[in-house]
Structure 1
Amino acid sequence: MHIKQVIIQGFRSYKEQTIVGPCDPGHNVIVGRNGSGKSNFLQAIQFVLSDEYAHLGSNAQSLLHESLGPRVISAYVEIIFDNFDRRLPIERNEVSLRRVIGSKKDQYFLSGKLVNRNEVMNLLESAGFSKCNPYYIVKQGKINEMAMASDSRRLKLLQDIAGTRVYDSKRNESNSLLKETQGKIVKIEDLLITLAEQLKNLDGEKEELKEYNRLDKIRRCLEYIIYDRELKSLKEKLEEFEETRHACNVVQAELEADAKTAEEAARSAAKKLKELKREARAEKDQLDRLNADHQQLLKEKMKLRLTIQDLKIEVSGDCKAKEKAEEELNALRVKIKKSEQDMEKIRPEYEIVKQREQEYSRELAMNERKRKELYVKAGRVTLFKTKEERNKWIKSELDQLRGHIVEKETYRAALAEDLKVDKDKYADLEKKIAEPAKDVKDHMKSIEERSKNYKELILQKNQCQARIKDLYRRFSVLEQRQNELKEDMTKQDQLLRRVVGKSTLNAIDSVRKVLNTFRERGDSEDELQSYYGLLVDTFQCGEALHTAVEVSAGNRLFYHVVESNVLASKILSEMNKQRLPGVADFMPLDRLLVRRVDYPKNSDAIALISQLNYDPKYDRAIRFVFGRTLIARNLGTAVALARSSGLDCVTLEGDQVSPRGMITGGHFNAKQSRLNIYKLRTKLKTASELKTVTDEIANVEQEIEATNESLNFCIAGVQKIELKDRISKDIIDNSTANIRLLREELEIVEKSRTSKMQILAQCSNDLEALNATKESLENEFNQELAIELSEEDQKKASKKGSIIL
């Protein structure tokens, strides 16, 4: 036998799994640098085989690998032996021994099987690895220590190697065990003495017991005789009580029928009262809303009446002022028209006269200037002594006149250019005025076109708002009725939860959730259809049988009927997986054992199953629960039939008799009947009124949503038109302001043109006068000085004077 392979993980410097091997059976050497793990490898072998690491305790943490990475929480060392020679007493050629340690565990595994430490040590000792002989692993320095040891130490070493100390230790253990056994023998002998004494006492008690049994037999016989007499008297009294009970049952049945009729009448009256209260509440709400609307309308009516009065006053005043203004306007228009016609007639004459006036004024100014020049010319003889002085002065005057003429011509050209620019500017302003005026006209037309659509949208908006009010009123009434129906259903649920049990109802809801999960997951539809529901849903019976059915079935009414046990297991597994509440009981049809029953032919009893209506596929479940039950006419018949037929018997009042003789029953409160409550709850859930109300609420909500969309559309349309009108009005205001500014600028240009034309005419006159003065001075230049005017000049002066006059 030799070590074939060593596997280390998490031990000291070996973090990851390290496999060393296969090893040679003859000779192996471990070579490596310092710190490469040679010593840890040998310690790993000692960790499994040696007794040095027997009791680790808190020191186990020091053997785990430590590094900067994630912390190692467990480690193991596994040694695989080649057991071909069967040195280990195991019928395998290869044996593995693994030791696993952690923060709170230290376990051994032999060939994958968990074993305790004593078994491992016994196995190793049988192979020669004794804890008393630790020299099968020779550590560093041990050989030098053996060479330097004393003779006694060497003898002890030889004994350890030879394995004799094992026998010494076992001998010591056997001696101690022998001493313990001798002590136990002494104790057992003492116990035997005690038991012998107890046997003597029990022999005496045995005789007393025999006497007691004889007397007890006599006592039981006497008690039986007394009991038989009492039983006979009790039977007689029972018959009397039965007759009395039968009479009471008849009276009770009549009273119960009356009470049932009264309850139904009270229920119908309460229902009618509730409906009347609901209608009254709705009518009151309607009345309140109508009163509020009426008050609002009255306020609006009063406001409108006052507004109309104010408007009438304003309109009457405005109408008088308007009539007066229109009369004045018409008179002014006639007067303006007449004036325009007169002006058009005299305009050509005015233009001609104006032109002639300008010409005459110019000529007058020229003649006066020339006459003045002639007189000045005559007076120059007094100013100048010689001709040269006069010529010199004329020359300087001519130079000045030429300069003035040039300036006047330049100024006239500039005025002409300004007039041309003003004319172009005037035409451009007229074009600019025409464009915004057209925009104003277009936008005014758009506002008029949109006003019709605006009125239609406002009308539709008001209609939608009125429709929404009506729908909300109807929705409030329907919602109130729905809440009442749901409240009734909630009361029945609470009552059912009280009489059936919370865990059973929770289980019903949990099973439904599981089935919905299967459907969403896409499980087989055939498998889902093999769930048939609760037992109470699989049959129908008359109301008179409800008590008998409930007493016979008990809680089995709420068992879940399924086709096979597989589906039941699957549902329970899913419930556990989802941690759903409740305790569910299943009735798999493939596991129910139903035997054929021969019912007795008796006119006072009938099989309960024959009074139930159900689908044949539920026959096993129905027969399993109700197949061995008879309905008896009365309790006496039930007792007799239960004894004779071996079947359970039940009366319509709920008294039940078992074949074993046990009788249960008493007053049964029909209001607390689980079957009645469940049927009523199912009827409420499937009631058409709740569904109708829910559908109507959905329809009203859809209609409200559609009407709101129409209202939003109308509001959006109104807002768009108002926005467009506001934009158009802004554009009209801006365009009007621009037109006003342009007109003001046009008037300024017109005034500027008029003034410039007058200045131009004056400049032309001045230029003409300057030219005339220049011409006169040029004619005078080099003429002789004369004391008086020449004859020609005197004629000119007299002529000019006559023209001026």
Structure 2
Amino acid sequence: MYIKQVIIQGFRSYRDETIFDSFSPRYNIIVGRNGCGKSNFFFAIQFVLSDEFNNLSAEGRYNLMHEGINSRALNAYVEIIFDNSDSRIMIDKPEVAVRRQISGKKDNYFLDRKVVNKTDIINMLEGAGFSRSNPYYIVKQGKITQMAIAPDANRLQLLREVAGTKVYDEKKHESEAILVETEERRKKIADLLKAIEERLISLETEKEELKQYQKWDRSKRGLECAICTKECEDAKRRIDEIVVKMNSSTKKNEQLETDRLTVTEMIQQTIDSITELKQRLQTQQIERETLIIDNKDNFQRKAQIELELQDFQSETSQRDTKRNQLRKELEKYDQLINESEQKLTKIIPEYNIIRRQEEQKTAQRDLAEEKRKELYAKRGRGNQFTSKEDRDKWIRIELKSLTKAIHDKREQMERLKKDLQDDTIKSHEIEEQLRQIVDNENEQRTHMDNVNIRVRDLRQKKSDIATQKTELARKETQLHIQISQTRDELRKYQDTLRSIINKGAALGTEGLQRLLRQFADENRNQDIINGYHGTLIENLECDPTFYTAVEVIAGNRKFSKPGESPSPTQLKNSNKDIDEHINEEKRNTDKYEVKLRNAQNKLDESAKRQNDIGVPPDGLDKYKDIPIKQLQHDLDRAIIELKKYAHVNKKALDQFLQFSDERDKLTNRKAEIDEAHRHIVDLIESLDNKRFETIQFTFKQVSLYFTEVFKRLVPEGTAHLVIKKGDNEDFDSEQVSLQSPGQQMSVDDFTGVGIKVSFNGRTNEMRDMQQLSGGQKSLVALALIFAIQKCDPAPFYLFDEIDQSLDPQYRNAVAMEGWTISPLHRETVPLLAEMV
């Protein structure tokens, strides 16, 4: 099995679809300049086969896609076609194509152009020989150098990974965690068992006392139940007698009910007075509500005025602050004006002096020019200068000097003029600001005067509102007093009305009105509601001077219904007889009701006590014929006996049984945990033994292959691996195999894996890795990698720049028997490569 073809598109530096084919079944080498894509080709194969790219984020996928000058590829894929003629992949095809395609949101795997899960691809590769515990079928750039300089402890860790002891370590850690948890449970159960045993000892003593207590308690409850039963029977008999008497009284009351209803209408004796009082009360309430509304409006006006006053006060405060700020600015501008005037006072004389100096210098220049001309005329040009060029040069120098002096004086004069103009403008601006400040201050003063006037008006309004508020409060108090007096007067009239008519008539009238209100609420029996016009007193109207005459003449008839017209004598006699009978029957009924209520209470109390006692009915037969006095005497004796056991634990027996059951459960649980503890200890020992055996076997294999591979790479040399312990002892593969985990050596005692090599075959000149050159270290690291690969052979191997740190004399000795792709760092190519 080997790679037959690789197709790349959109992956890193490969923008367009690129096909690599014609690979040899044995040794292939990729050479090229830096930046031509060797490493990206290596990454592409890793992208499909290695676990390093298994979990890519969106950012990671974008980083792998080709990015051009103006745009980025939308997707990328790498497809590897394997030659499966040896059926190493469990698919009945001569070629198998595995593709991985990524985009901004997707990461898909394809097997022969069909979408499959990533897990299926991983399982397929593992079945073909690509072991996840031994990932050295791909050796990245720098891995050989890293292994060459790695310490012994790293090589021991590498040996453990190749041996696959990670699974044993994980199971051991899980077993140790379970063992610690089991120890804690054993300790807790032991503590609980100890506490339960102590409690059971104390409950054993309490249990005997509880038996005596329960004996007298059953006797007491039986006696109490028997007494309650007899009391219930007596109460029921008395209730039956009272019910008979009440039924007889009820029949008499029913006969008087018709006559009593005619008397109940007298409740409206003072209806006119009550109506008048209600009208007065309603009028006063309306007046009170009006005053309350006015008072509320006044309160609102007061609050509004207070808010306006606060606003004016706040505005006044702000204006005062602003005025102070303006005054400070005025003082500042005054100071600036004074400083400007002082500067002007100093600058003007200086300006005049400079101007005079300029005039003097100009006059001096003109005079000098005239003198120069005269001197030229007198001395002659031939005597002053040797040549015309010297004369012109001297003239140019003098003119340049004079011109510069004139220019400097003019610039200084312009600056002084400009400063003078700026100061003048600034002075005018300050005067304008002063004028505005004065105007603003005058406006503020005028506004403050207006605000003060407004504040005085508001204060006057506030005083007026406070006066109105006081007056309204006084009126409200008066209304409250009047309402209270009216209610007292109404209550007095109602009491007078109740005293005039008897209780039965009042109750009858109230019942009739309540019934009519119920009819009105339920909107039914409208004819009855319309046919009832109230009592006679409610339908009478006359002058107040005739109230007494109407009272005497109408008598009790004023509480009757309109339409009835009995004679005064008959009404008085009937009313008197009815009242006497009703009062007598009422007293009898009240007496029977009290007796019935007492008997019922006693019956309920006895039944409740009987339920609380809880003695079954068949336990009462032995007390059936015993008098109640004898039962009470026996009950007193049982209570005295129970007082002797007042301290007894009422739940001792239940607790004893409960704790015994709990002890048995905990004992069984402890036995189960002990058994589990033994199994866990045995499991840990078994894992240690298996781990030691696995590492021992792997070490022997790797050591054997390492010696063979090194001998093939360096025919005249020899090498072997040694395991190091904490006490600096070294053991080779034969010595390790003679030990066992139960005797002297264990996996945890190992500290590293060392390498002993000799390039001349002399065993007395064996050297460690630290004593080798860089090229020798790389060769030894390669030999170790080859040995690891032989322990778990893969279908092919990939090396990235395998020759980077390799000495030239050893480069041709790294040929592999399996299929290999090797991107090289140098331009030299081994002659034994079948495809370059």
Task: Indicate the TM-score class for this superposition, using the shorter chain for normalisation.
Answer: under 0.3
| Structure having greater relative contact order (Cα 8 Å, sep ≥ 6) | 2
Question: TM (normalized to structure 2)?
Answer: 0.21
Question: TM (normalized to structure 1)?
Answer: 0.21
